[in-house]
Amino acid sequence: MGLIELASADSVWCGMDYYEKKRVTSWKPSGAVSYDGQVAGSNRQVYSVHIDKEHPRKSECNCPFAAGRRVICKHMIALYFTAEPNVAEDFLKQAEEWEKEEEERERQHYIDLKNYVNGLSKDELRQELYNVLVKLEDIRSRYW
């Protein structure tokens, strides 16, 4: 698994934001598959970041989230995208594809739901409506 796959969605999207805002103030390759850099954090404190593409869990950042932990933070993702902008472009393209697929799944779900409802008899429809209202009452009583 790579850096992106091991990072949380929040870390990836915040890292993308930092990349786009050019928060990586400096960077350089530190090996064939690694980079070192400085990244300005949300409070403008600069963090020291090391990423290792071959062994992502060996990546390090001295930010409060990642310091002393084997996690991938937004600063690491920002450095990765800065050092390899083609990876950022590929990630955004893939995210757009996922979004289109999700929209299609949702559209198909509502078509299937409409077909299901249209296929019910009047008595089945009444029973389904009753069941849904009972469930809503149960939910309402737990949360309100």
pLDDT of residue 136: 94
Question: Which run of H or of E encompasses 36?
Answer: strand 34-40
In this prediction, residues 111-137 reach a mean pLDDT of: 95
Q: Which of 4, 144, 2 is nearest to 74 (CA)?
A: 4
Domain residues for 26? 3-83
Q: How confident is the model at residue 143 (pLDDT cuts 50, 70, 90)?
A: confident
- Please indicate, yes or no, whether residues 114 and 45 belong to a single structural domain of this protein: no
pLDDT of residue 43: 81
Q: Are 39 and 75 in contact (CB under 8 A)?
A: yes
The shares of helix, strand and coil residues in the chain, as percent rounded to the nearest 5, are 60, 15, 25
pLDDT of residue 13: 96
User: Is residue 7 assigned to a domain?
Assistant: yes
- Please indicate, yes or no, whether residues 118 and 64 belong to a single structural domain of this protein: no
Predicted confidence (pLDDT) per residue in 84-110, tens digit: 999 999 999 999 999 999 999 999 999
For 132, half-sphere exposure in the C-beta direction (CA atoms, 13 angstrom radius) is 6
Q: How many domains does the chain have?
A: 2
Q: Are 83 and 27 in contact (CB under 8 A)?
A: yes
User: Is residue 111 assigned to a domain?
Assistant: yes
User: Is residue 95 assigned to a domain?
Assistant: no
Q: Are 12 and 4 in contact (CB under 8 A)?
A: yes
Question: Which run of H or of E encompasses 68?
Answer: none
- 72: tokens are 């991938």
Q: What does pLDDT average to over the chain?
A: 95
User: Is residue 25 assigned to a domain?
Assistant: yes
Predicted confidence (pLDDT) per residue in 25-51, tens digit: 999 999 999 999 999 998 889 999 999
- For residue 49, the SS3 value is strand
Structure pTM? 0.75
User: Is residue 57 assigned to a domain?
Assistant: yes
User: Is residue 19 assigned to a domain?
Assistant: yes
- Please indicate, yes or no, whether residues 74 and 30 belong to a single structural domain of this protein: yes
User: Is residue 129 assigned to a domain?
Assistant: yes
